[in-house]
């Protein structure tokens, strides 16, 4: 009996290890497939550019090296269907990402090709809106940008700030675009070679601040409430759902990254399990988010979790009348009104927005988002976000583990120990250096897009310090 038991354990261990390795390899394939697909068909960049820049952060030690080169590798690009399959040498873990108009690239399950039958099962794109109607309209409502040089702005200091951003001492930092505005004036706009005002790149977690904006609109409409339980059908379902301890989790808790649910991403498992399976391996972004068990009292501990944001987005889907209303909501309520015509919000193959990371945008569109907040939620005379919501996202989450008081409602705040930045500033922040910084005291919005890699990340507050050297506060 004992020997049989030991023998069984001996069989289970390698089987589990093999399964974990296969899952990890699937995600490695998926990461490259998604970045290649979006680099080619969303950003309209070349294979050489994609391998040199988008895929650069796949170098060891995080992964086992990038899969191939721009000339060849175990991948297949289908230009007709606008799809990329990576892992053609190991079909069971191969992953295909396919560009879907209105969504950016969508991930299929492992070992699935982009056949007509598979495509028929994917969600319908949001209602499109014309993207050329603002070409001749002045900024910020259109694409006609004139660089202003006000007398009270030190142009030499402003250019020094740009040089500081584009020519850092750390090779791992790569700025691809920088936009600086004051009020509705554009003070500086600059792009790296190979990029321009139309180039869309992934926002990574800057998407969370876009998600928070949409959630705030639903709160203003009375469809969601910060302190009511999330309208979530938790999994696995209990015979008496009211007895599920997760029913005490509120919208405020998940927006503060304090749901109390089992942490995955913050325990460095994002490229092996958790939301990584939705980002890169074709799994649902909503199902697994609802399966996590409660391990702490909600509102007592800060864990930076993609799934917390995705729970808020799932709640958005639950309170809207139907699937098409949900899919149209970001365009109708935010993107179209701001003229963010180049911005695409990605979704999984089940039709759930991956608004914790999967948004593709450019510097000007993100500048408009920042300007909306600078204008206290008003755009062209219409209030899109309430003052109360802006106060909420700018207030530190009241959790003892909130790092240096620098996290609000899916927006980042000036750390407690920084004395060289106006305390009222706040910002979005995404992996690889995606920042939208709002500085009300100077009426300034700073957008920095990057393709950083490695461990020495670009510091958004240092950039803010350098930019503000060029101008006095306006109030």
Say if residue 367 is in the same domain as residue 233.
yes
pLDDT at 368: 98
Q: What domain range is 415 assigned to?
A: 201-468
- Looking at the structure of the chain, the number of domains it has is 2
Tell me what pLDDT residue 62 has: 57
187: in domain? no
CATH of the domain at 254: 3.40.710.10
Structure token pair of residue 295: 């391990």
Separation CA 221–CA 32 (nearest Å): 40
Q: Kindly give the interhelix angle for 306-319 and 323-330, rounded to the nearest 10 degrees.
A: 120
What integer is the mean pLDDT of 209-224?
A: 98
Domain assignment present for 58: yes
pLDDT score at 400: 84
User: What is the average pLDDT value for the chain, to the nearest integer?
Assistant: 92
Chain centroid, CA 209 distance in Å: 8
CA distances from 105 to 236, 246, 309, 350, 360 (A): 30, 33, 20, 13, 10
Instruction: Say what the pLDDT of residue 307 is.
Output: 95
For the segment 188-192, the average pLDDT, to the nearest whole number, is: 98
User: Does 205 reside within a domain?
Assistant: yes
Element (H, E) at 378: strand 378-379
Average pLDDT, integer, range 389-418: 95
Query: Which residue, 113, 129, 156, sits at the end of a domain?
Result: 113
* Confidence category of residue 356, pLDDT binned at 50, 70, 90: very high
- At 1, the pLDDT band (50, 70, 90 cuts) reads very low
pLDDT at position 276, please?
A: 87
On whether both 410 and 268 belong to a single domain, the answer is: yes
Check whether residue 211 and residue 72 sit in a common domain. Answer: no
Count of Cβ atoms closer than 10 Å to residue 35 Cβ: 25
| Section 210-225 average pLDDT | 98
Task: Give domain status of residue 323, yes or no.
Answer: yes
Asked if the structure places residue 440 within a domain, the reply is yes
Q: pLDDT tens digits, residue range 266-294?
A: 766 666 768 889 999 999 999 999 999 99
Asked which of 165-169, 196-200, 248-252, 352-356 is least confident by mean pLDDT, the reply is 165-169
- Amino acid 13: pLDDT: 59
Does 424 lie in the same domain as 277?
A: yes
Whether 215 is in a domain gets the answer yes
> pTM for the full model?
0.94
Q: Is residue 305 included in any domain, yes or no?
A: yes
Contact 327, 141 (CB under 8 A): no
Q: Which of 90, 113, 136 is the last residue of a domain?
A: 113
pLDDT tens-place string over residues 86-101: 999 999 999 999 999 9
**pLDDT tens digits, one per residue of 75-89:** 999 999 999 999 999
Query: Which conformational region is residue 358 in: left (phi greater than 0), alpha (psi within -120 to 50 degrees), or beta?
Result: beta
Q: What percent of the chain has pLDDT over 70?
A: 92
- Is the domain of 108 the same as that of 208? no
Question: Could you tell me if residue 164 is inside a domain?
Answer: no
pLDDT at 281: 93
Strand-pair category, 412-413 with 83-86: unpaired
Q: What pLDDT, on a 0 to 100 scale, did the predictor assign at position 56? A: 84
Task: Please state the rounded mean pLDDT for residues 335-359.
Answer: 96
Mean pLDDT of 258-262: 96
- 108 and 10 assigned to the same domain: yes
> Mind listing the pLDDT tens digit for each residue in 287-319?
999 999 999 999 999 999 999 999 999 999 999
Output the pLDDT for position 178. Answer: 98
Same domain assignment for residues 257 and 376: yes
> How large is the average pLDDT for residues 386-397?
98
For residue 335, name the pLDDT band (cuts at 50, 70, 90): very high
Residue among 342, 364, 434 at smallest CA distance from 184:
364
Query: What is the reported pLDDT for 66?
Result: 62
* pLDDT, tens digit (0-9, with 9 covering 90-100), for 4-44: 555 555 555 567 677 778 888 899 899 999 999 999 999 99
Domain boundary among 62, 86, 113: 113
Q: What does the pLDDT read at residue 266?
A: 74
Flag the least confident range among 12-16, 418-422, 453-457: 12-16
- For Cα atoms 378, 138, 194, give the angle at the middle one, nearest 5 degrees: 105
Question: Would you say 67 and 75 are in contact if contact means Cβ atoms under 8 Å apart?
Answer: yes
Average pLDDT over residues 142-147: 96
- Higher local confidence (pLDDT), 69 or 369: 369
Q: Does 207 lie in the same domain as 105?
A: no
């Amino acid at each position: 009996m004992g020997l049989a038991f030991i023998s069984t354990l001996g069989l289970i261990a390698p089987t589990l290890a093999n399964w974990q390795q296969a899952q990890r390899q699937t995600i490695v394939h998926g990461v490259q497939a998604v970045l290649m697909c979006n680099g080619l068909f969303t950003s309209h960049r070349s294979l050489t550019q994609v391998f040199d820049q988008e895929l650069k952060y796949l170098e060891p030690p995080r992964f086992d090296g990038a899969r191939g080169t721009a000339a060849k590798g175990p991948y297949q690009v289908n230009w007709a269907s606008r799809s990329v399959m990576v892992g053609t040498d190991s079909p069971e873990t191969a992953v295909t990402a396919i560009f879907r108009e209105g969504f950016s690239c969508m991930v299929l399950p492992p070992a699935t090709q982009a056949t007509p039958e598979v495509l028929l099962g994917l969600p319908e794109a949001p209602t499109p809106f014309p993207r050329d109607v603002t070409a001749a309209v002045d900024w910020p409502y259109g694409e006609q940008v004139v660089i202003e040089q006000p007398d009270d702005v030190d142009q030499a200091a402003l250019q020094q700030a740009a040089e500081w951003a584009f020519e850092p001492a750390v090779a791992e930092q790569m700025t691809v675009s920088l936009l600086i505005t004051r009020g509705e004036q554009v003070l500086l706009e600059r792009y790296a070679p190979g990029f321009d005002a139309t180039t869309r790149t992934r926002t990574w977690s800057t998407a969370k601040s876009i998600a928070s904006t949409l959630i705030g609109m639903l709160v203003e409409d009375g469809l969601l409430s910060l302190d009511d339980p999330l309208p979530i059908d938790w999994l696995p379902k209990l015979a008496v759902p009211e007895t599920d301890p997760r029913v005490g989790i509120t919208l405020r808790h998940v927006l503060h990254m304090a749901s109390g649910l089992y942490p995955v991403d913050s325990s460095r498992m994002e490229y092996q399990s958790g939301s990584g399976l939705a980002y890169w391996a074709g799994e649902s972004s909503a199902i697994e988010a609802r399966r996590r068990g409660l391990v702490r009292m909600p509102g007592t501990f800060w864990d930076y979790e993609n799934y917390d944001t995705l729970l808020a987005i799932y709640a958005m889907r639950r309170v809207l009348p139907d699937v098409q209303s949900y899919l149209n909501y970001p365009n109708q309520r935010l993107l179209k009104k701001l003229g963010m015509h180049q911005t695409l919000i990605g979704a999984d193959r089940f039709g759930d927005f991956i608004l914790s990371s999967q948004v593709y945008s450019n510097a000007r569109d993100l500048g408009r988002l920042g300007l909306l907040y600078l204008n206290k939620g008003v755009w062209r005379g219409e209030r899109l976000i309430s003052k109360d919501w802006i106060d909420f996202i700018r207030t530190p989450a009241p959790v003892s583990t909130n790092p240096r008081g620098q996290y609000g409602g899916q927006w980042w705040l000036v750390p407690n120990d920084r004395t060289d930045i106006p305390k009222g500033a706040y910002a979005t922040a995404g992996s690889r250096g995606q920042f939208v910084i709002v500085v009300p005291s100077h009426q300034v919005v700073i957008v920095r897009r990057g393709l950083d890699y490695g461990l020495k990340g670009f510091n958004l507050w240092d950039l803010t310090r350098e930019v503000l050297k060029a101008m006095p506060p306006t109030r």
